[in-house]
Amino acid sequence: GLAVDGLNANVVVAVFPFRLEALHYHDVSGLVGWLLFLYASLSHSSTPVIAMVSERLRSRRGTMIAGQLSLLASQLLLMMAPTFWVMCIGRFLEGVSSAVIMTAGLALICDTTPEKDIGAQLGTAMVGMPLGALLGPPVGGALYDRWGYRAPFIFVIFFTALDFACRVLVVEKRVSQIESLGQSQDTCRVTDECEAGLQQSSAEVVDDEKTQSAPPMDLITTEPALQSGQPSTVQEHVSASKILLQFASSPRLLASLVVVFICSFVFAASDVTIPLRLQGVWGFNSRKVGIAYLAAIIPTMISNPLSGMLSDRFGAEWIAIIFTICGTPWWGAMTTTFSLPFFIVSYGIENFFIAAVAPPVTSELAAITRSMKGVGYAHTYGTFNIVMGAANAAGSIVSGQVYGHRINGWDIVCYIHIGMLALALIALISFTGERPLLRRGWKIWQTRSDQNSHIAPASGNINPRIPENLPA
């Protein structure tokens, strides 16, 4: 779903200018900017509504099917659009469908995945975002050059229809329900064994024993759901204000959102400034810049699922901290100009580690959601999508202004990234996980200090009031 969404969003970037020129519009670059702005703004501003609807209906599949129909409608409008305002409507619907997959899609993964495997599944899903961004522009440009304006849209409509069929076949059986059914069957087997062992007793005694040994049906069907680590399948509806209050009072959640903002800011800023840096120092054209992006995007397809699996095994806090530490220094290395291969390799290594922070952080968000009463996954991932959108906008504006108005603008941008990632590292160490690393270290230090204070001296007079060398 994320790959199809990214493909739809990026395949049109290369063909919009030519279509607007064919329709005899002026100020093409400004109109293209408005089309891109409509998509970005709607994909984030519509998120709160989609999150609330998804939780109220308790149906991820229905919400995702509606989003996919919106995406199909948007592609048909964009393909057949005779005027600019029709293209705006198409991008409006496309932005709404993107919000659906980022909110209900990630929530569906958490609903149907055991807690111990959530990180790996989210890491695999996150591969779709760079994959769609990687394939979209070159595929759209090639299809436009060969068969014309409608060819890229026919291409994405085919994959969108295939994705739609897959969403229709989705089975929304939550893990808690499956585990509840398995534990109920185990209870029935135990009851049968007790009954077989009491065959020589009277029927009345057997009935009494069965009545006393068998747990109440309401306990069989409800307790396992609460013990499974997943949110209960029947949740009371909580107002938006109460949900926001819970979010604001959770340092663990706020720290995760800060990390999301910082990482998204860094990636958005690099998307704006990396092409300018390559062009200004090494004279790259658009084709060479695209090849350089391959070095940055391809490693993330490996690191995302890898970090997800590692976070399931060792804990989200450990993997997020380690990957942040390993990725941050490379922004300092990218301020050098002595070697183009070194610059591209540094950029690829930085992307490998920093992009891989997303799976453990999204896994952490799922764990936080399970601990909040009345809060669903759609609420949390909707907030995640809003924060990511705000960071994308801020990163693009800040980096563009700094790079364009300062002689050493690139170096300043790199140092801003280092400083922000250092803040993200502090947030991860201080608040991530049920037992943050900072709290663990403080308790270890406190325990050792207490032990040292209670250790008696090895020799000498302990009590100064008792004189030494008393006669026997």
Q: What is the pLDDT of residue 404?
A: 85
Return the CATH fold of 250-443.
Growth Hormone; Chain: A; (1.20.1250)
At residue 174, the pLDDT reads 56
The sign of the torsion formed by the CA atoms of 327, 333, 335, 339 equals negative
Mean pLDDT computed over 266-271: 87
> Using CB atoms within 10 A of its CB, is residue 299 exposed (0-12), middle (13-18) or buried (19+)?
buried
Predicted confidence at residue 178, as pLDDT, reads 45
Q: What is the mean pLDDT of the chain?
A: 79
Q: Which residues contact 259 (CB under 8 A, 6 or more apart)?
A: 320, 357, 361, 424, 427, 428, 432
Alpha-carbon span 324 to 88, nearest angstrom: 39
For residue 304, what are the contacts with CB-CB under 8 A and spacing of at least 6?
A: 123, 124, 126, 127, 130, 355, 356, 358, 359
Distance of CA 177 to the CA centre of its chain: 25
- Do 1-170 and 250-443 fold alike per CATH? yes
Q: Would you kindly state where each structural domain of the chain is located, as residue ranges? A: 1-170, 250-443
- pLDDT attached to residue 171: 67
State the burial class of residue 1 (Cβ atoms within 10 Å of its Cβ: 0-12, 13-18, 19+).
buried
User: Per CATH, which fold does 1-170 belong to?
Assistant: Growth Hormone; Chain: A; (1.20.1250)
Name the band, by pLDDT with cuts 50, 70 and 90, for residue 236: low
Percent of the chain with pLDDT over 90: 24
Question: Given this model, what pLDDT does residue 20 score?
Answer: 86
Q: Averaged over 222-234, what is the pLDDT? A: 42
Summarised one tens digit per residue, pLDDT across range 335-359 is 999 999 999 999 999 999 999 999 9
DSSP, res 345: H
Predicted confidence band at 322 (pLDDT cuts at 50, 70, 90)?
very high
Q: Rounded mean pLDDT of 250-254?
A: 93
Tens of pLDDT, residue by residue over 424-465, are 999 999 999 888 888 888 888 888 877 777 665 554 554 555
Using CB atoms within 10 A of its CB, is residue 94 exposed (0-12), middle (13-18) or buried (19+)? Answer: buried
Q: How confident is the model at residue 218 (pLDDT cuts 50, 70, 90)?
A: very low
Rounded CA separation 242/147 (Å): 53
Measure CA 346 to chain center.
Answer: 24
Tokens 């391959």 — which residue?
Answer: 294
Q: Residue 153 pLDDT > 60, yes or no? A: yes
Lowest mean pLDDT among 44-53, 159-168, 204-213, 255-264: 204-213
Band of residue 385 on the pLDDT scale cut at 50, 70, 90: confident
Q: Give 393's pLDDT tier (boundaries 50, 70, 90).
A: confident
Residue 411, pLDDT > 90, answer: yes
Q: Which range, of 218-227, 234-243, 271-280, averages the lowest pLDDT?
A: 218-227
How far, in Å, CA of 351 to CA of 130, rounded? 11
In this predicted structure, what is the pLDDT of residue 12?
76
Contact 123, 307 (CB under 8 A): yes
Return the percentage of the chain with pLDDT > 70, whole number: 80
Lowest-pLDDT range of 106-110, 201-205, 287-291, 382-386: 201-205
- Output the pLDDT for position 190: 42
Radius of gyration of the chain (CA): 28
| For residues 53-73, average pLDDT | 83
